[in-house]
Structure 1
């Protein structure tokens, strides 16, 4: 196994949850399990290919669970694993910081539209 070296701990965190879409996916999964189609509805700018890739990486890192229901057609749901739930505090802080940042920018006159502001409630 190759040895990894990090300058500071946040590098290890960002290696797992960094990027444009992973934090967004994780925020949507904090409150309830969701199907891929539901994630696509909630994150309209992500492509199916990228969503699938990000979900696979998060599953491989043990952050999310993928549950397949033996139905026809098969139903697949994604949820935070127990390990992934340990990220809730970080995710909540990121969401709250983002909300404050949006409020600050709107107060400064910037036009910003937030589509899911009321749908993603922090969990404490």
Structure 2
């Protein structure tokens, strides 16, 4: 649960599901993430076997991140959750408004 409970991990999975990405592209795609938080999140995902880091040993440095098969399977689950949010956002918003008016 700690893996999918992390905000940035949840946002990274769909981006990495598109294919291998470099650090700079991930920074651009995850609006608001700091370099420190992105690095910590990627390391945590790598530690748990969700992401693999490939260092091409070039100058200037070139590193790419991609999902492992385990990460791809998690990405499918997270994708289903994303779809639920899209489909039910208005109903949840309506329930919040009704609740707030009642208190």
Q: Same fold (TM over 0.5)?
A: yes
2:58 is the alignment partner of 1:101:
no
Give unmatched runs, 5+ long, in structure 2.
Answer: 95-103
| Structure 1 equivalent of residue 25 of structure 2 | 38
Structure-1 residue corresponding to 2:54: 67
* Secondary structure, aligned partner of 1:62: coil
Whichever structure has more helix as a proportion of its residues is 2
Residues 23-81 of structure 1: CA deviation (Å, up to 9, x unaligned)? 10111101111111111100111111000000000000110000011221111100001
- Displacement of 1:83: 1.4
TM-score with structure 1 setting the length: 0.68
Provide the C-alpha distance between the structure 1 equivalents of 2:82 and 2:65, rounded to a whole number of angstroms: 20
Equivalent-residue separation in structure 2 for 1:95 and 1:38 (angstroms): 21
Q: CA RMSD in A?
A: 1.7
Q: Distance in 1 between matches of 2:6 and 2:55?
A: 26
Distance 2:44 2:75 in 1: 18
Q: Give the Cα separation in 2 of the matches to 1:21 and 1:88.
A: 13
Equivalent pairs, count: 93
**Cα deviation 1:85-112 (Å, max 9, x = unaligned):** 111321210221122234x26x96xxxx
The runs of 5 or more residues in structure 1 that have no matched partner are 1-13, 109-124
Alpha-carbon distance in structure 2 between the residues aligned to 1:88 and 1:22: 10
CA distance in 2, matches of 1:75, 1:101: 40
2:56 matches 1:86: no
